[in-house]
Amino acid sequence: METLSIGDFAARSGVAPSALRYYEREGLIRSTRTSGNQRRYERAELRRVAFIRIAQQVGVSLDEIRAALAELPENRTPTRADWARLSDRWRHRLEEKITLMQRLRDDLSGCIGCGCLSLHRCKLINPDDALAAEGTGPRVLLRPA
């Protein structure tokens, strides 16, 4: 079984060695040690690190990531079915985020209901900031699609 040093693992994963050590302390990834106490990572850990990086970028907390990774088998490399089970847990939440991001992309040049009233369309869509009665923030974007 091929293992990677922390430097090689960091280079391949795109994650700094300090972050890898942190992930290990937090129980998110595992390594073994050489007789000289140097960390060695199995290649399968690259997938776990990739999962951590992407999950963080879409707003999943480390606690949620830890809980998900804890469901993966310890004594074997996770299978496609293992990973599919994890992704199903967040599918609805991710689809909601995708929808919100698409609306932001498509509607940011118009009135989003934030109360600024700085655009001409704001005066038509949100006269006198009537949307403030619905709550705080960009009310048009926060409405369900």
> pLDDT of 39-98, one tens digit each?
999 998 998 999 899 889 888 899 988 988 888 877 677 788 888 888 888 888 889 888
What is the CB neighbour count within 10 angstroms for residue 47? 14
What six digits make up the tokens of 85? 């089970």
> Which positions ≥6 away from 10 have C-beta within 8 Å?
16, 17, 20
Average pLDDT taken over every residue of the chain: 88
Report d(CA 60, CA 100) in Å as an integer. Answer: 16
pLDDT given at position 29: 93
Domains of the chain: 1-78 (1.10.1660.10), 91-144 (no CATH)
> Which positions ≥6 away from 110 have C-beta within 8 Å?
119, 121, 125
> pLDDT of 60-74, one tens digit each?
899 988 988 888 877
Query: Band of the pLDDT at 121, cuts 50, 70, 90?
Result: confident
Q: Is a pLDDT exceeding 90 seen at residue 105?
A: no
